Amino acid sequence: MLRRALLPASLLAVSALVLAGCSSDPSTDAASSDAASATSLSDFGSFSDLEEAAKAEGALNVIALPRDWANYGAILDLFAEKYPEIEITEQSPDVSSAEEIQAAETNAGLDTAPDVFDLGLAVALESTDQFAPYQVQTWDEIPDALKESTGLFVGDYGGYMSIGYDSSKFPEITSLDDLLGSDFSGSVALNGDPTQAGAAFAGVGLATLQSGGDLDDFQPGIDFFQELNAAGNFLKVDVTPATIESGETPVVFDWDYLNATHTADNDDWKVVVFDDLGYAGYYNQAINKDAAHPAAARLWQEFLYSDKVQNLWLAGGARPVRMDAMTEAGTIDADLASALPATPAETLVPTEEQSSAAGELLGSEWAAAIQ
């Protein structure tokens, strides 16, 4: 659950990921070269042509896709069922966004290089020279604010930062300040380190907004967690499904679609999205410019932005990026959509500039605040 690094690679100390592999087959170089330069379906001719090119490659390398994250298990299984000719290799499901990019750099030219990425915004912004532009068939239905204009990276699914908690052990949480009380002693955790993990970064963002600040300056959020730590309520434990199931981390800042999964195992687990002001964020898809299987990479993108898979993300509790267009077209799963938590009265999503500034601030201030 800690795979999502949000900060630029220059701010992270990450170890190299070396994946053993061999060079690509020279006999496929010409076809691969054509696929690698394709920027839309028209460059293949038709969708059937893209499918045939991907089947001819016979493989797809994905990275950093935990099966319990936003229903990725079902998504991967559906692709495998639909395209049995394409073998999926699920590499390093729990690594960070920065480590995804590092894996691509380390394995450039090898058939083990990741073909596609799923990234936090700041890492995507820092890494555009690693991406190949591609616009899927449903490009026009993706909001402009959630995609790079040429298709270097594109928002895919998102949600609201929330607080999940075991209601059998704690009083109802109605405000951020409730967490400062003695009832929550040694109980409140972030999903990761906000200098590395996107969910934790967003937790500080939510605390910033709920403390009267704005996304231009995350200092109020850092101050909140410093106060939470001073009160003895901040729990410095890496959150996993096991720590939640065991009760080791009974109160957790995390995305609503991840917190909601724990209700299946604990009827008393509640998820709070504050109704006045919410912090939302999306992860992003991108294609490795050095993908060993460039046609399969592009087929994967088309697959992810189809109605079927957008609804699978919705089934995982996440909000698909095409949700508004699909709602208008009547292709959204209405039952799943209605089951989502109510949206706050006001929703804020950090801009590229705000994300970068917040990352720099957290890099310099976080450790001292919670020591």
* pLDDT beyond 60 at 5: no
Closest CA to 189 of 262, 230, 238: 238
pLDDT computed for residue 31 by the predictor:
55
Calpha distance 336→263 (Å, rounded): 16
Q: Tokens in use for 198?
A: 């996107």
pLDDT computed for residue 33 by the predictor:
66
**DSSP at 278:** E
Phi, psi dihedral angles at 193 (to 5 degrees): -100, 125
pLDDT computed for residue 8 by the predictor:
33
Mean pLDDT of 259-284: 93
Residues in the chain: 371
Phi, psi dihedral angles at 28 (to 5 degrees): -105, 5
pLDDT computed for residue 126 by the predictor:
83
Distances (CA, A) of 302 to 268, 291, 315: 39, 16, 19
Task: Round the average pLDDT of the chain to a whole number and report it.
Answer: 90
Closest CA to 370 of 151, 204, 154: 204
pLDDT computed for residue 27 by the predictor:
42
Nearest 5°: CA angle at 59, between 56 and 65?
Answer: 145
pTM for the structure as a whole: 0.81
pLDDT computed for residue 326 by the predictor:
98
* pLDDT beyond 60 at 30: no
What are the structural domain ranges in the chain? 9-157+281-338, 160-279+344-369
Residue 335's Cβ-count burial label (10 Å; 0-12, 13-18, 19+) is: exposed
Q: Which residues are bridge partners to 253 per DSSP?
A: 163, 190
Residue-wise DSSP of 202-245: HHHHHHHHHTT-BTTB-HHHHHHHHHHHHTT-B------HHHHH
pLDDT computed for residue 92 by the predictor:
95
Q: Tokens in use for 129?
A: 């020279």
Evaluate whether the domain defined by 9-157+281-338 bears CATH number 3.40.50.880. no
Residue 276's Cβ-count burial label (10 Å; 0-12, 13-18, 19+) is: exposed
* pLDDT beyond 70 at 276: yes
Mean pLDDT of 176-185: 98
Q: For 354-369, what is each residue's pLDDT tens digit? A: 988 998 999 999 999 9
Give the CA diameter of the chain.
Answer: 67
Identify the band that residue 10 occupies on the pLDDT scale cut at 50, 70 and 90: very low
Mean pLDDT of 285-293: 98
Mean pLDDT of 289-313: 98
Q: For 153-175, what is each residue's pLDDT tens digit? A: 999 999 999 999 999 999 999 99
Mean pLDDT of 344-353: 90
Residue pair 111/292 in contact (Cβ under 8 Å)? The answer is yes
Identify the band that residue 29 occupies on the pLDDT scale cut at 50, 70 and 90: low
Calpha distance 97→9 (Å, rounded): 9
Calpha distance 104→108 (Å, rounded): 6
Evaluate whether the domain defined by 160-279+344-369 bears CATH number 3.30.2420.10. no
pLDDT computed for residue 6 by the predictor:
39
Return the amino acid letter for 113.
Answer: A
The half-sphere exposure of 271 on its side-chain side, counting CA atoms within 13 A, is 23
Residue pair 283/118 in contact (Cβ under 8 Å)? The answer is yes
Q: Tokens in use for 99?
A: 């480590």
Residue-wise DSSP of 94-123: T--HHHHHHHHHHTTTBTTS-SEEEE-HHH
Answer whether 9-157+281-338 and 160-279+344-369 agree in fold: yes
Residue pair 89/36 in contact (Cβ under 8 Å)? The answer is no
Residue pair 198/120 in contact (Cβ under 8 Å)? The answer is yes
